[in-house]
Structure 1
């Protein structure tokens, strides 16, 4: 606690009051969560998949990533496989299946969200190399796509 107070004082003297507040935040974050709040959080996360997919359909630019990230860990902890039909989305729960439609050529694929991104502003989804290839967008870098909740009965590629 003394170290945090000294750090907060030094940062405040340097003219950065926002950083001084951040220096004190770890003490607040260490407090345990009450049992009632923990059960409310788990109930909220159970309905988050439903509320997150209710934000679909969405239309906007999609990008793709491949060989550079092959084998690296994704945000959900699994290894990235550029040949799998997966995608990165900023907020949909991991495991959510999303249908991606390329209106320029009519192609559709179903992807599973396993990563966070895209990290470039304005894009709605980052697709694996396989999904981008199936959508016919490899030579373009980005394409306008439409995202919608996937039907469990649809095949991965159409």
Structure 2
């Protein structure tokens, strides 16, 4: 099948298929006499495998490792499990980070009056990082934070 058909069946765009070939994630496709790429059923299965790995958040490099493990019938499933659990740990850490960001923004939004006045704790908080960057480093300098321990709460109580 041609690249368009392979893209349709695998759910991987033609552009990404060409990229995966270029970086060696998948072998270069056979070419017709006219120079068109030709993909076999196993090629499409590999593309489906890569798409699923990418959908689960694995990097291109990790997808390549998983693909190699999938093709290696002598592999130990422990290797695959270790890789998956390591990825789960990274995903959970990212989830925690995103939740902290959301909490910070919700907290700041809760303290913003949202009226026609220019005072805005959201912008004030964002501007604090600019002011901190302009000052020489001190041991008491605030570190980036997530969560509700922002200075907006102290500003809102002084209004």
Q: TM-score, with normalisation over the residues of structure 2?
A: 0.27
Which structure's residues are more often helix, by fraction?
2
Q: Which has the higher contact order (CA 8 A, sep 6+)?
A: 1
Which entry has the higher C-alpha Rg, 1 or 2?
Answer: 2
Which structure's residues are more often strand, by fraction?
1
